[in-house]
């Protein structure tokens, strides 16, 4: 079974958090913003949740239209955006495409957005 991921897996994410105390480079900020933009939609957040909670952690577009109350072309559009952002992997089986979360994608984003802990003895601003 070969799944294909894209952007997040292939792009170099920033080495430092935008909240880490040092300025983030413009190109890194643009890449991270693109991934966050893909997440910033209620239907896409629901899709991630539905796929993660599906049996075996994968779902076909045909299984996602009814829970979302959206048409198949609209669901496919949202899935394409999530896949291009590197948040989902896609596998074609016959006429259907199956999707699963990229295991490290959400963790990478969470790590980048989590400020480092302040050292003991240092006052928080």
Residue 7 has pLDDT above 50, yes or no: no
CB–CB of 82/113 below 8 Å? no
Place 81 in a pLDDT band, splitting at 50, 70 and 90: very high
Q: So what's the pLDDT on residue 18?
A: 55
Written out in words, the top-level CATH class of the domain with range 7-112 is mainly alpha
Q: For the whole model, what pTM was predicted? A: 0.74
Rounded Cα–Cα distance for residues 32 and 41 (Å): 16
Q: So what's the pLDDT on residue 20?
A: 60
Place 23 in a pLDDT band, splitting at 50, 70 and 90: confident
Domain borders along the chain are: 7-112
């Amino acid at each position: 079974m070969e799944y294909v991921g894209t952007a997040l897996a292939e792009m170099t994410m920033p080495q430092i958090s935008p909240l880490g105390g040092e300025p983030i480079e413009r190109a890194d900020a643009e890449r991270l913003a693109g991934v966050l933009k893909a997440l910033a939609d209620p239907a896409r957040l629901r899709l991630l949740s539905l796929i993660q909670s599906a049996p075996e952690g994968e779902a076909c577009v045909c299984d996602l239209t009814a829970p979302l109350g959206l048409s198949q072309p609209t669901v496919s559009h949202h899935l394409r955006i999530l896949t291009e952002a590197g948040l989902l992997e896609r596998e074609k089986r016959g006429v259907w495409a199956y999707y699963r979360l990229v295991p490290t994608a959400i963790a990478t984003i969470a790590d980048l957005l989590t400020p480092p802990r302040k050292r003991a003895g240092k006052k928080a601003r």
